[in-house]
Amino acid sequence: MTDLKAKFIGDRKFYRMLAGIALPIMVQNGITNFVSLLDNLMVGRLGTESVSAVAIVNQIMFVYYLCIFGGLSGAGIFTAQFFGKTDDEGIRNTVRYKLMLGTLLVIISALIMGLKGDGIISLFLHESSDGGDLALTLDLGLQYLHIIMITLPLVMLTNVYAGTLRECGQTVIPMNAGLISVAVNLVFNYLFIYGKFGFPELGVRGAAFATVIARVVEFLVIRIWILKNRDRLSYFRGVYKTFKVPLNQLKSFVVTGMPLLVNETLWSLGIFFLSQAYSLRGLNVVAGQNIANTINNVFNIAFIATGDAVAIIVGKYLGAGDMEKARDTDNKIIATSIIVAAVLGIFLLATAGLYPIPYNVTDEAKALGTLFIMVQAVFYPKDAFLHTSYFTIRAGGKTLVTFLFDSVFMVVVSVPVAFILSYFTSMNVIMIFAVVHALDFIKCIIGYVILRKGLWMRNIVSKI
C-alpha cells in the first residue's frame, strides 16, 4: 500500500505544480463550455429543428477543430521540449511550421464546407416515426454553416498562438482570452438570437454571428498581449523574419506530426460517423445527443486539462532528459485524473435528469438526452485514463503509436460496430452507445501495456 501511495499520490509541491498548469486550462475550458451550454440552451428554446441543425453543423466544425489541433500538436510536442531545452529558435520554427500547415488546412476545410455542406448535413437527416421537419433542419443548418465558416482562419491563428504559449508554460493568457471571448459570445447570443435591445431577431443565424464576434475578440486579445510582451517572450521575436524552417527540423515536424494530423482527422471523422449512425434512429436522437454532449463537455474539463498538463509537464522533463521524473510525474497525473473523473461521474449520474429540462424539445429527446448523459457518466474513469495515456505517449513523440492506439481503433472497431448495430439490428440506440463505449476497454489494456513498458520516454529534440 505504501508503494502504491508513493507511485500514484503526490505531495503538496506536486499538486501545486499540477494545479498551476491544469487549473487555468480547466477554468478556461470550464467557462467556455458552460457558456456553450447557455448558448445551446438559447438555441434550444427555438425548437428541435434548430437544436438539431446547430448540433449537426457543430459536428462538422468539430472535425475541423481536431484537424487543426492534430496538425499543430505535432509541432507542439517539439515546442514543449525546445522550451525545456531553452532553444528559442527551435520554438520559432515550430510556430512557422504551424502557420504554414494551418493555412493549408483552412483552405481545404473551406472548400469542402462551401461546396459540400448541404450533402454533409443531409447525412444526419432521416425519415422516422418521431417526425421532425427535415427540410427546415437542412435550411437552418446551411444558414448556420455559411456564417460560422468565417471563423476558420481565426480558430487556426488562435490555436497557433495560444498553443505555443501553453507549451511554454503560459496558460493564464489563453485562459483570460477564452473568458473574455465566451462572455462576448454569451452577450451577443442573447442580443442576436432573440432580437433584444433593438438588435434583429436572427435565430440560429444570430448564434453564428455571435460566435464569429467572439472568435475575433479571442484572437485579438492573445495577439495584442503577445505584441505588448514581446520583450520577455523571446521565442516570438523574429518569427516573421523568414518562413524557412531548417530541413532537418521540418522533416522531424512532418514525420512526428503527420500521424497526429491523420489521427485527429480520422478520430474526429469517426465521432462524426458514430453520430451519423445514431441519427438513423431519428431527429430526437440528434437533439438528445446534442444535449448530452454539451453537458459532457462541461463536466469532462478536469481530465481534459490533466491531459494538457501531461503534454506540458512531462514534455518538459523529457526535453530536459529527466526520464525518471517524467515517469513518476506521469503516474501521479494519470491517477489524479482517474480519481477526479470517478467523482464527477458519480455526481453526473445522480443529476442526469435535470439537464434536459430547460430545452424546448420533445419529451422523447429529453429522455434520450438523460440516458446518453448517464452512459457517459458511467464511463468517465475509462475516458480519463485513455485521455491521459494518449497525451503521455504523444509527449515522447510516439505519434505513430498514438495513431494506431486512437483513430485506427475508432475506424476499425468502433464505427463498424455502431453501423452494424444501427443498420442491421433493432437494438435501442442507448444500448448501441453503451456498447461502443465498452469497446474502449480494449484500448485501456493496450494503453496500460505501453505506459508500463515506458516506450514513450524519449527526448526528441536532442538530435535536431
The Cα 279–Cα 422 span in angstroms is 9
3-state helix, strand, coil in the chain (%, to 5): 85, 0, 15
Sign of the C-alpha dihedral computed for residues 58, 200, 358 and 137 taken in this order: negative
- From residue 243, alpha-carbon distances to 92, 105, 193, 269, 325 in Å are 10, 17, 42, 31, 35
3-state secondary structure of 396: coil
DSSP H stretches of helix in 195-309: 204-228, 247-278, 283-299, 301-309
The Cα 77–Cα 386 span in angstroms is 19
460 belongs to a structural domain: no
Q: According to the model, what pLDDT value does residue 272 have?
A: 84
The Cα 370–Cα 379 span in angstroms is 15
What secondary structure, in 3-state letters, does 189-209 show? HHHHHHCCCCCCCCCHHHHHH
What's the domain count of the chain? 1
Where does residue 68 rank: exposed (0-12), middle (13-18), buried (19+ CB within 10 A)? buried
464 belongs to a structural domain: no
The Cα 375–Cα 434 span in angstroms is 6
284 belongs to a structural domain: yes
Q: According to the model, what pLDDT value does residue 435 have?
A: 95
Q: According to the model, what pLDDT value does residue 183 have?
A: 85
Q: Per residue of the chain (464 residues), what is the pLDDT tens digit? A: 556 665 667 677 777 878 777 777 777 667 666 666 666 677 777 877 888 888 888 888 888 888 888 888 878 878 877 887 777 788 888 889 899 999 999 999 999 999 998 898 888 887 665 556 788 889 999 999 999 999 999 999 998 999 888 888 787 888 888 888 888 988 998 899 989 988 999 888 998 999 999 999 999 999 999 888 887 887 888 778 878 877 887 888 888 777 777 877 888 888 888 888 888 888 888 888 888 988 888 788 777 787 777 777 777 777 767 677 778 888 888 888 899 899 999 999 999 999 888 888 888 989 999 999 999 999 999 999 988 888 888 777 666 777 777 778 888 899 999 999 998 998 999 999 999 999 999 989 988 888 887 767 666 665 55
Angle (deg, nearest 10), helices 152-167 and 172-194: 150
463 belongs to a structural domain: no
458 belongs to a structural domain: no
Cα three-residue angle 212-44-304, rounded to 5 degrees: 65
Angle (deg, nearest 10), helices 12-44 and 323-351: 40
Amino acid at 5: K
* Distance, first Cα to last Cα, the chain: 43
Domain that holds residue 241: 2-453
Sign of the C-alpha dihedral computed for residues 183, 184, 189 and 192 taken in this order: positive
- From residue 285, alpha-carbon distances to 127, 130, 379, 380 in Å are 12, 10, 20, 21
- From residue 214, alpha-carbon distances to 151, 227, 301 in Å are 9, 20, 21
Q: According to the model, what pLDDT value does residue 459 have?
A: 63
462 belongs to a structural domain: no
232 belongs to a structural domain: yes
209 belongs to a structural domain: yes
Determine the longest span between alpha carbons in the chain, in angstroms.
65
> In terms of Cα–Cα distance, which of 283, 319, 306, 326 is closest to 455?
326
Cα three-residue angle 252-253-255, rounded to 5 degrees: 65
